[in-house]
A = this chain, B = another copy of it.
Amino acid sequence: MINIGIIGLGTVGGGVYEIINKRLSEIELRVGSPLRIKKVCDLREEFAEELNIPKGIFTTDYNEVVDDSDISLVVMLTGNADLDFTILKKCFEQGKHIVTANKALMAKKWSEIFELCRRYKTLIYFEASVGSGIPVIQGINEGLAANRIDQIKGILNGTTNYILSKMEEEGTSLEDATADAVKAGFAEVDSSADLKGWDAAHKLCILTNMVFPHPVKLEDIYCEGIENIELSDMDFALEMFGFSLKLLAVFKRKGDEAEVRVHPAFVPEEDMLAGVFDENNGILVSGDSVKDVMFYGKGAGRFPAASAVVSDIIYLAQKISYSIAGKIPYIHTDTSSNTRVIDMEELSFQYYLRFMTEDKPGVLSKITGILGAENISILSCFQKGRAEGGNIPIITLTHMASVRAVRRALKKIDALDTTG
């Protein structure tokens, strides 16, 4: 008999409780042993009622789960990284294994968590922390185990993808599309963690640590959000080139070094990621043998996330049931190599630059002059529309240009009194 405890009965936790009860016999068949939810914990007692949780197994004190010696697997879904880390340490000390959906916990405490796993011979599964129900963690870790993963390019945040889709498809402004996302339940009222790219950066941090032998921290990841995107930028790229604007999270291996970055980027039509719309996620993974493989699906929601958690429970419980949980690590990374994350300033990209300028003679010449002085070669340059008295946009597409040079140029151009 495998006894499990659930801490946290919010959106995901409630879904997990429901799925386990609905499909218990199939789950036990796969686990190879009977399974029972022995204790369920949440501070919000009303959840116990809503889910018809028997009085005897509900508690508001998580220590009742952690200290129950019958429980070998704890499903940790409080959503609070600090609290979850405290619970995790207590569980691991007692040899309990963990399933979690907490991306902040995994991203911030990666090295410490796997150090504890080694020390206590415990396992942590975290499929739901990236891409919700999409089995991308397991896909990379097991399905593509034969490969050296060279690149991961993903749309990892459903909220911003929903917003960008609305803007592209319906011509909605960023503000209206964001309000729309809140109404549709795809964004929190405070959606800044999504808009600023932090949520995607957390997920990228997890994926990168799975495949790259350098312990990558959140602060190593270049992160730029979509807060400053305007509708005109999207329209322009779509009309001119058929490009879609997406918030991309990119890991790219270059020998012992890697680019790890989150930022908006134009994606050509023929790229599979260009077809990922609305609240969906898409993760393109390239291995040295398999080449490109894409995983796609809903990036959020009660049951998709709970699907990932329950699948983790099944395969972790199976290991517990056969007494091999913790004998072999779930995630294998050798952190001994001489690796590093490449500083963003060392990279080069093709840039799309929009300058809002006064409609005065000489402005274009000043701007292109500064770009030229920084060795930034211009592929095309457009001046679009003309608002009486207002500022007009000058749009520039560059050839490959160094980030350092572009940043220097933008600083100088910002200092001109003709651009806003």
Residues of A at under 8 Å CB distance from B?
15, 19, 23, 26-27, 29-30, 32, 127, 133-135, 138-139, 142-148, 270, 272, 274-275, 277, 287, 289-298, 301, 303-304, 306-311, 313-315, 318, 322, 324, 327-328, 332, 334
If the complex has contacts A30-B332, A314-B146, A324-B324, are A297 and B294 also in contact, measured as CB distance less than 8 A?
A: yes
Task: Say whether A327 contacts B32, CB under 8 Å.
Answer: yes
23 contacts between A and B (CB under 8 A): A26-B332, A30-B332, A32-B328, A133-B287, A133-B290, A135-B139, A135-B142, A138-B139, A138-B142, A139-B295, A142-B142, A144-B311, A145-B315, A146-B308, A270-B277, A272-B275, A289-B304, A289-B306, A290-B304, A290-B308, A293-B297, A294-B294, A294-B295
Assembly CA distance A15 to B315 (angstroms): 29
If the complex has contacts A19-B146, A23-B146, A142-B138, are A290 and B298 also in contact, measured as CB distance less than 8 A?
A: yes
A292: nearest chain-B partner, CB-CB: B297
A18: nearest chain-B partner, CB-CB: B289
Whole-angstrom distance between the Cβ of A23 and the nearest chain B Cβ: 7
Task: Say whether A135 contacts B146, CB under 8 Å.
Answer: no
Task: Say whether B322 contacts A146, CB under 8 Å.
Answer: no
Closest 9 CB pairs of A and B: A135-B143, A146-B310, A133-B290, A293-B297, A294-B296, A289-B307, A290-B307, A32-B328, A275-B275
Whole-angstrom distance between the Cβ of A13 and the nearest chain B Cβ: 14
Whole-angstrom distance between the Cβ of A177 and the nearest chain B Cβ: 18
In the complex, which residues of chain B have a beta carbon less than 8 angstroms from the beta carbon of A298? Answer: 290-292
A147: nearest chain-B partner, CB-CB: B307
If the complex has contacts A29-B332, A296-B294, are A311 and B15 also in contact, measured as CB distance less than 8 A?
A: no
Whole-angstrom distance between the Cβ of A411 and the nearest chain B Cβ: 40
How many copies of this chain?
2
Task: Say whether B307 contacts A297, CB under 8 Å.
Answer: no
In the complex, which residues of chain B have a beta carbon less than 8 angstroms from the beta carbon of A146? Answer: 19, 23, 27, 306-311, 313-314
Assembly CA distance A322 to B304 (angstroms): 32
Task: Say whether A293 contacts B291, CB under 8 Å.
Answer: no
Whole-angstrom distance between the Cβ of A274 and the nearest chain B Cβ: 8
In the complex, which residues of chain B have a beta carbon less than 8 angstroms from the beta carbon of A296? Answer: 272, 292-296
Assembly CA distance A318 to B328 (angstroms): 9
Assembly CA distance A81 to B147 (angstroms): 28
A306: nearest chain-B partner, CB-CB: B289
Of B148, B304, B311, the residue contacting A145 (CB under 8 A) is B311
Task: Say whether B311 contacts A142, CB under 8 Å.
Answer: yes
Whole-angstrom distance between the Cβ of A11 and the nearest chain B Cβ: 13
Whole-angstrom distance between the Cβ of A26 and the nearest chain B Cβ: 8
User: Given known contacts A127-B143, A291-B303, what 9 new A-B pairs fall within 8 Å (CB)?
Assistant: A29-B334, A133-B287, A142-B311, A146-B307, A272-B275, A289-B304, A291-B304, A295-B296, A324-B324
